[in-house]
Amino acid sequence: EIVLTQSPGTLSLSPGERGTLSCRASQSVSSTYLAWYQQKPGQAPRLLIYGASRRATGIPDKFSGSGSGTDFTLTISRLEPEDFAMYYCQQYGISPPYTFGQGTKLEIK
């Protein structure tokens, strides 16, 4: 099973700053099957990025994904109040089990 480790566990930033979230895999992951989700309290997760770098429908371009192999990054430029939430990375696709990272909490500083 592929283990995904997200860092930091909590990221404290101010509105207007840039957020960089990391996801490291225990073994190489196909970029085709690496996704990022945003989850706010009491809500279902929302797909932000799939295929490591492709924005899902309706996701603004302030969200960007990058990486390959075992290291992936979600970058959020120009943080706005609504961006403060939990973020999860996930590997999925042709070889189950799917796994999620433990999450990064992005909080207002």
Partner 1 sequence: EVQLVESGGDLVQPGRSLRLSCTASGFTFADYTMSWVRQAPGKGLEWVGFIRSKGYGGTTEYAASVKDRFSISRDDSKNIAYLQMNSLKIEDTAVYYCVRDKPFLEYLYGLDVWGQGTTVTVSS
Q: Which residues bind partner 1 (CB under 8 A)?
A: 1, 32, 35, 37, 39, 44-47, 49-51, 54, 56-57, 88, 90, 92-93, 96-103
Using the minimum distance from each CB to partner 1, give the nearer residue, 14 or 61: 61
Using the minimum distance from each CB to partner 1, give the nearer residue, 43 or 78: 43
Peptide bond into 97 cis (omega under 30): yes
Using the minimum distance from each CB to partner 1, give the nearer residue, 4 or 76: 4
Using the minimum distance from each CB to partner 1, give the nearer residue, 38 or 83: 38
- To the nearest whole angstrom, how small is the minimum distance from the Cβ of residue 96 to partner 1? 4
Of residues 23, 22, 26, 33, the one with CA closest to residue 2: 26
SS3 content of the chain, % helix, strand, coil (to 5): 5, 55, 40
The rounded radius of gyration (Å) of the Cα atoms in the chain is 13
Cβ pair 99, 3 in contact under 8 A: yes
- To the nearest whole angstrom, how small is the minimum distance from the Cβ of residue 68 to partner 1? 15
